[in-house]
Amino acid sequence: MVEGIDAAVQQRRDGQVLVVTLDDGGKNALRPDTLLSLEAALEADADAVVLTGRPGILTAGLDVKWMAEHGRPGTEELLIALGRCLMRWWTDPRPTVCAAPGHAIAAGTMLAMACDHAVAAEDGAWGLLETQIDFEMPEYGIALARANVRADRLEDLLLPGERIDAADAVGAGFADRLCPSDEVLDVALGRARTLTELPARAYGRTKLRLRGEIAAGVIDRLHDDIASVTAHLPDAG
């Protein structure tokens, strides 16, 4: 596993809320170091965590150019890092809120679903597009979708890898609230602060009861699952 700190993952405090910002100056494409840095950010002492991006985008998903350059071994590394990062965010005992200031595509949609609440900018695009780029959906993506997406939309969205607008994303369950892009972060911070008013022990333990067993199973099977997902890829880029 590549280890390092990605400068695209920035942290700041807003009172007792930790704000984690993805900003690489472009599409916020995710590489192993980015995911490790997102996971490490949760070690900070805070009462709640808000995840956001640069203006117009949370993330367009995994760095497909990096994947092409590193072939199957690198792609496996990246997908495993994504799974670990998502399950860490999904089971963090504190309130976690996603403020998506624009597009949240593929892994971006997954990151939003891994938070307890997601606020979507009105002009963003969403979707789990894996089928369209000839990728099976990893188990962690299906687990998050089953926990968030309306049952009557689940297969219609995942099987064709449909891209949808932000309003439909909220209606389907990818996100929870729609608002203008310039209000997304403030709305997310307000939601985070409201959630911190709840008893922290009960909040964290209930989240563990809801998600802990599923997440543990995903992690236990992660390497085998990703090996199956990437079996069709060449060894080298």
Closest CA to 107 of 136, 86, 135, 80: 86
The count of structural domains within the chain is: 1
Is 46 a domain residue?
yes
> β-pairing, 48-53 with 177-179?
unpaired
Domain that holds residue 166: 9-229
Is 2 a domain residue?
no
Q: For residues 138, 140, 144 and 145, what is the CA-based torsion angle, rounded to 10 degrees?
A: 10
* Furthest C-alpha separation in the chain: 51
Confidence (pLDDT) at 1? 34
pLDDT in tens, 93-113: 999 999 999 999 999 999 999
CA-to-CA separations, 152 to 109, 117, 141, 174, in angstroms, rounded:
18, 21, 17, 13
Confidence (pLDDT) at 205? 98
What ranges in the chain are assigned the alpha helix state H? Answer: 32-41, 64-91, 107-114, 139-148, 154-158, 166-172, 184-196, 200-220, 222-229
> What are the two backbone dihedrals, phi and then psi, of residue 104, each rounded to the nearest 5 degrees?
-135, 85
CA–CA separation, 90 vs 146, rounded Å?
13
Q: Tokens 């008013």, residue?
A: 197
Is 237 a domain residue?
no
Q: What is the pTM of this model?
A: 0.95
**Residues 54/189, Cβ–Cβ less than 8 Å:** no
Is 235 a domain residue?
no
Which tokens belong to 114? 């891994």
Confidence (pLDDT) at 236? 60
pLDDT in tens, 182-227: 999 999 999 999 999 999 999 999 999 999 999 999 999 999 999 9
**CATH number of the domain residue 182 falls in:** 3.90.226.10
Confidence (pLDDT) at 114? 98
Q: Residue ranges of the chain with pLDDT lower than 50? A: 1-3
Angle at 112 between CA 106 and CA 115, to 5 degrees: 145
Which tokens belong to 184? 């997304």
Is 236 a domain residue?
no
